[in-house]
Structure 1
Amino acid sequence: MITIKEVAKRANVSSATVSRMLNDSGYVSEEARDRILKVIEETGYVPSENAKSLRTKKTKVIGVILPKLGSETTSRMVNGLDRVLAAEGYQLLLANTNLNAGKEIEFLKLLKSRDVEGIVLSATNTNDLLLAEIQKLNIPFVVVGQDMPDTPSVVFKETSAAQEMIDYLIEKGHVKVAFIGVSESDRAVGMLRKKGYLAAMKEHDLPIEDHWIQTAVFDVESGYHAMKNIMEKSDQRPTAVFAVTDRLAIGAMNYIKEAGLRIPEDMALAGVGASELSQYVTPSLTTIDFQYNNAGQEAANLILSLINQKNIPKGKIVLDYGLVKKDSV
């Protein structure tokens, strides 16, 4: 295999000159550049990426910590990341926590040991241990989906979106609105979306029965059982249900249908995520579109700004949302 020394010898230049040209790290005359390029073309020389990274201290790899690889919202965010970063010559190294918050810290340490140039975390929690580990990183870091103090972040209008959805349900005549959420350890999805639900109900001076609020996990089956609890334990049956993810809403939809109720005539239903599946269930699901692909692109631009120390935005990046009105309401 041809080496950089052989290229230098054939081009009648020093190895340092070849290195400067390949890494664009210093002056090389046009004449020398032409000779080097001619030798590279003739020999098919390809620089070793490992050697190049040792010289430049750049691996061109971004670590990405994800909560669940099978999630459509996750894949859309990763697509947005990859679209921007690949255009700049970067590769992604993915780590999947499978919704195990403890693995977030484990993967932060692992990715740092792999000399990635930056880390993007799609976080599920904001606990003190995680924050302490982030502060030790000393490499560019961006979090998506959670608002962490003193940390570059891309976040969504979680509370406003949930509140607007409840306002929409109330506008459609529903005064008995139930809620299917997740653990509040996930601040964005569990706490802030619930905050929007409670704020809207309070603003309209509407009562909330205890069993109308159920906590689930992030899957269809859990949404089914949460809906079952609402129906079986409530003194008054709600006429609408807001679930904090589309998967939970679709699980609830399955139970509602099994109970012999019609959607939306007997029970209105809404979710969050604007997933592809939400548009193909019957009836199609009213939902909130947070544009996760755009979130990935914003996170990619932010990590590049931090790596290059250029055009770094001040404060967090807050993305807007859209209310997708379909047949389930």
Structure 2
Amino acid sequence: MVSLKTIAEKCGVSTATVSKALNDQKDISEETKSRIRTVAEQLGYFPNAAARSLKTNHSYNLGVLFEEEAGSGLQHEYFSGVLNGLKVQAEKQGYDITFINTCFENRKMSYLEHCKYRNFEGVAIVCADFNDAGVMELMNSEVPVVTIDYLHHNCTAVSSNNIQGMEDLVRYIYSQGHRRIAYIHGQQNGSAVTKDRLTSFYRTMDELKLEVPDEYIRTADYLETREAAKQTKELLNLENPPTCIIYPDDTALIGGRNVIIEMGLRIPKDISVAGYDGTRMSQLLHPKLTTIKQDTEEIGREAAKRLIGSIEKPKTTLIERVVIEGILIPGQSVGKIPEQK
């Protein structure tokens, strides 16, 4: 690694002069500054991060809290897109990202303690149990925090427009002639995503003057294929079954799809289905899924922008809810049927 001493020897000046030149101090001539900077660039010099931090009082390091319970980890398509967008934008603005954990040298520490230990300037909570005491402590702290898909009074939140997305999905299904529409939604515990989608579902159905029987509304955790399969079977065995079923996400839909096939039914001839998220896999299935594609990369980029903005300009920062629009993908899994009475 190239040091200030190496540059000083190459230029025939002191290390103090090199330091002043690289930090653009006024008591060094422009000619000397230019010569030293040119040599530093030729030698591939990078300032020491610790020294830079001491001088600027900035670590340029962001923490990322990602505790995903479904077992997909970084392979989870939605979160991997968000994380990639966050990483690209953070690096573009000169910041590094580091994942937060609660264990260091076999000693347990809270999320907040780890943030202080690592000198994180801010944190993006991409996925976590928001009812966890450690997560709540972090959100309520003085550390700037941006959350993904979760509303908290002390944090800016970035999320997909789940209200508009669900409305677009229901109205499209309605336009295909469906009047008996069931919805298997995700878990409700503290989930702003589920609340927004479910409320939008009921509101849109009401605007379309469609009845929603209680037995048409079911619960299955996000990405949970087994529970989605169970709820699908119960819906199809109703005396008056739905003609279309909306699922929590494209992955959970696969559980329902398997049951439909096992029962000897065809999609969309006998029963229509729709998902959410717009994963690549959803467009590889046959028939291609009708779904809402979320712009995960933009969600991540916007989260990074907002977080860095709150770090660099705290006096002008407001706590906001930032909404990123999704796109309806019609697919072929919702068939057109005669109007239902």
TM-score normalised by length of structure 1: 0.84
Residues 147-296 of structure 1: pairs in structure 2 closer than 5 A: 147-222=151-226, 223-232=228-237, 234-296=238-300
Letter in 2 for 1:323: L
Q: Is residue 92 of structure 2 the alignment partner of residue 87 of structure 1?
A: yes
Take 2:27 and 2:145, find their aligned partners in 1: how far apart are those partners? Answer: 33
Q: Is residue 335 of structure 2 the alignment partner of residue 321 of structure 1?
A: no
Take 1:26 and 1:180, find their aligned partners in 2: how far apart are those partners? Answer: 66
Take 2:194 and 2:128, find their aligned partners in 1: how far apart are those partners? Answer: 10
In the TM superposition, residue 64 of structure 1 has moved relative to its aligned partner by 1.5
- Which secondary structure state, in structure 2, belongs to the residue aligned with residue 214 of structure 1? strand
In the TM superposition, residue 11 of structure 1 has moved relative to its aligned partner by 4.2
1:69 counterpart residue number: 74
CA contact (8 A) 1:246 1:287 kept: yes
Take 1:6 and 1:252, find their aligned partners in 2: how far apart are those partners? Answer: 66
In the TM superposition, residue 115 of structure 1 has moved relative to its aligned partner by 0.8
In the TM superposition, residue 295 of structure 1 has moved relative to its aligned partner by 0.9
Higher relative contact order (CA closer than 8 Å, sequence separation 6+):
2
Take 1:262 and 1:41, find their aligned partners in 2: how far apart are those partners? Answer: 65
In the TM superposition, residue 143 of structure 1 has moved relative to its aligned partner by 1.4
Cα displacement string for residues 163-220 of structure 1 (whole angstroms, at most 9, x for unaligned residues)? 2212221221212111111221242332221111222223333333333222112325
CA contact (8 A) 1:158 1:188 kept: no
Residue 35 to residue 214, structure 1, CA distance change in 2 (3 Å): same
Moved more, 264-273 or 115-124: 115-124
- Which secondary structure state, in structure 2, belongs to the residue aligned with residue 143 of structure 1? strand
Take 1:115 and 1:283, find their aligned partners in 2: how far apart are those partners? Answer: 50
Take 1:123 and 1:176, find their aligned partners in 2: how far apart are those partners? Answer: 34
Take 2:49 and 2:59, find their aligned partners in 1: how far apart are those partners? Answer: 8
CA contact (8 A) 1:125 1:187 kept: no
- Which secondary structure state, in structure 2, belongs to the residue aligned with residue 206 of structure 1? coil
TM-score normalised by length of structure 2: 0.82
Residue 57 to residue 143, structure 1, CA distance change in 2 (3 Å): same
Residue 237 to residue 85, structure 1, CA distance change in 2 (3 Å): same
Take 1:210 and 1:41, find their aligned partners in 2: how far apart are those partners? Answer: 69
Take 2:28 and 2:310, find their aligned partners in 1: how far apart are those partners? Answer: 29
**Structure 1 stretches of 5 or more lacking a match?**
98-104
CA contact (8 A) 1:182 1:216 kept: yes
Moved more, 105-114 or 188-197: 105-114
In the TM superposition, residue 24 of structure 1 has moved relative to its aligned partner by 5.2
- RMSD of aligned Cα (Å): 2.9
Residue 269 to residue 110, structure 1, CA distance change in 2 (3 Å): same
Moved more, 201-210 or 120-129: 120-129
CA contact (8 A) 1:189 1:244 kept: no
**Structure 2 stretches of 5 or more lacking a match?**
103-108, 335-341
